[in-house]
Amino acid sequence: MHNRRAITAWFLLLALPGLSACSTTVDIPDGVFACTTVADCPETFECRGDGLCYAVIEVEMPGDSSVDAGADAGADGG
């Protein structure tokens, strides 16, 4: 029984790195999938007016996003 455990442990030690190398990513081009709602599109895609799915592009606005200019800031900003 001890040999079986040892063989299983060695198999897992050798197999796990090989299995992790099998992960892949797929680049889906824009305008390939037809849609009527966003639910018809892959994750991170949106359904546009032409009835096709396009990747959602997040635009980062310039400037410091941590600035608080709320109503309590007052005229002098403080």
The 10s digit of each residue's pLDDT in 6-29 is 666 655 556 656 555 666 777 889
Largest CA distance in the chain: 79
Which pLDDT score is estimated for 64?
Answer: 55
pTM metric for this prediction: 0.46
Which pLDDT score is estimated for 17?
Answer: 61
Which pLDDT score is estimated for 39?
Answer: 95
Rounded to 5 degrees, what are φ and ψ at 10? Answer: -65, -40
Give the Cα separation of 62 and 65 in Å (integer): 8
**Distance from the Cα of residue 35 to its chain's centroid:** 20
Average pLDDT (1-9) is 64
pLDDT in tens, 41-69: 999 999 999 999 999 988 887 765 555 55
